[in-house]
């Protein structure tokens, strides 16, 4: 991971400050605007951010998990369970005013980040990062995932009101670093000659270049500049975060993408999803 756990936590503090300023400036109409998050308006996404703080404190700090989830026997059943939790929360918080939501976010955000600072980055995380194909993860990766969640949902709010203020080197590049951890897992069943390289390039300020290479059995991250990738997937920043969070799919994103080299390998990048969805 390019960024340390401490760096992600400092960025999370900054994200929270940006969020509070953003929400305090919203008009009544802006709170009701639809977002790229299916079925959620701006207020619902803000409520989901609050849920992340409160649920994180309850589970990670307090060891409290609420009602048993029932049988979770597959990745999809886990996704279905999480979706059910998310929808029940946003439905309940519809009775809360924006002012109450902001107040609770201002209380819980710093409290949750302070808790995460107490974790040893090398210890096993309370939950694995399933979208990266991991059955167990370190706290470092868990903290990185929490950063990406906070970034993503605030960006959904900003996108709804026409404000792309987070698409910067400071905040966007670390977010992409986390999301690109899903790239090797996305190619796990894709056959290619040993040594084949696939490169993803996100253009613009805060973007970057990420590559994976086919080894004997696995696709692995490549931590050097590729000389001649078998396929390059080049995407605009305003579309990248939507595609890789499954808000947009290939049919909509393809007009902002250029694929060079082997189409079969390049097209597989469209399938990368770095959230539980």
pTM: 0.96
Phi-psi region of 167 (alpha: psi -120 to 50; beta: other; left: phi over 0): beta
Residue 232, domain member (yes or no): yes
Tell me how crowded residue 81 is: count the other CB atoms within 10 A of its CB: 15
Q: pLDDT band at 82, cuts 50/70/90?
A: confident
In this structure, of 38-42, 60-64, 142-146, the range with the lowest mean pLDDT score is: 38-42
The tokens for 207 are 């973007």
CATH code of residue 244: 3.30.1050.10
Task: Assess whether pLDDT exceeds 80 at residue 154.
Answer: yes
Residue 233, domain member (yes or no): yes
**Mean pLDDT on 84-99:** 94
Residue 175, domain member (yes or no): no
134 and 240 share a domain? no
146 and 233 share a domain? no
Share above pLDDT 70 across residues of the chain, in percent, rounded to a whole number: 100
CA dihedral of 114, 118, 124, 128, whole degrees rounded to 10: 0
Q: pLDDT band at 226, cuts 50/70/90?
A: confident
Q: pLDDT band at 74, cuts 50/70/90?
A: confident
Q: pLDDT band at 78, cuts 50/70/90?
A: confident
**Mean pLDDT on 190-214:** 97
Sheet containing 197-202, strands listed edge to edge, beginning at the edge strand earlier in sequence: 219-222, 208-214, 197-202, 231-235, 257-261
Number of domains in the chain: 2
34 and 115 share a domain? yes
159 and 203 share a domain? no
60 and 132 share a domain? yes
- Pairing status of strand 257-261 against strand 231-235: antiparallel
Q: pLDDT band at 265, cuts 50/70/90?
A: very high
Instruction: Look up tokens 């007009």; give the residue.
Output: 255
pLDDT at 171: 98
211 and 248 share a domain? yes
CA dihedral of 116, 118, 122, 127, whole degrees rounded to 10: -40
16 and 74 share a domain? yes
CATH code of residue 94: 1.20.120.450
Full domain range(s) for residue 266: 182-271
């Amino acid at each position: 991971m390019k960024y340390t756990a401490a760096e992600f936590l400092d960025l999370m503090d900054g994200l929270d400050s940006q969020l509070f300023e953003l929400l305090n400036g919203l008009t009544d109409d802006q709170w009701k605007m639809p977002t790229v998050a299916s079925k959620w308006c701006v207020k619902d996404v803000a409520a989901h951010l609050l849920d992340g703080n409160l649920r994180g404190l309850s589970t990670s700090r307090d060891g409290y998990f609420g009602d048993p989830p029932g049988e979770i026997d597959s990745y999809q059943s886990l996704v279905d369970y999480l979706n059910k939790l998310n929808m029940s929360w946003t439905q309940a918080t519809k009775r809360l005013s924006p002012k109450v939501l902001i107040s609770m976010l201002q209380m819980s955000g710093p409290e949750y980040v302070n808790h995460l600072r107490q974790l040893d980055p090398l210890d096993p995380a309370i939950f694995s990062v399933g979208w990266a194909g991991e059955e167990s993860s370190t706290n470092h990766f868990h903290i990185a995932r929490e950063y990406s969640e906070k970034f993503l949902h605030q960006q959904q709010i900003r996108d709804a009101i026409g404000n792309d203020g987070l698409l910067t080197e400071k905040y966007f590049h670390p977010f992409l670093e986390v999301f690109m951890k899903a790239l090797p897992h996305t190619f796990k069943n894709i056959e290619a000659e040993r040594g084949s390289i696939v490169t993803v390039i996100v253009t613009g300020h805060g973007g970057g270049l990420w590559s994976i290479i086919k080894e004997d059995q696995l696709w692995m991250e490549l931590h050097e500049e590729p000389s001649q990738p078998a396929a390059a997937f080049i995407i605009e920043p305003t579309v990248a975060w939507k595609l890789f969070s499954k808000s947009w799919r290939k049919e909509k994103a393809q007009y902002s993408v250029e694929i060079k080299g082997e189409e079969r390998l390049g097209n597989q990048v469209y399938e990368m999803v770095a959230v539980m969805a």
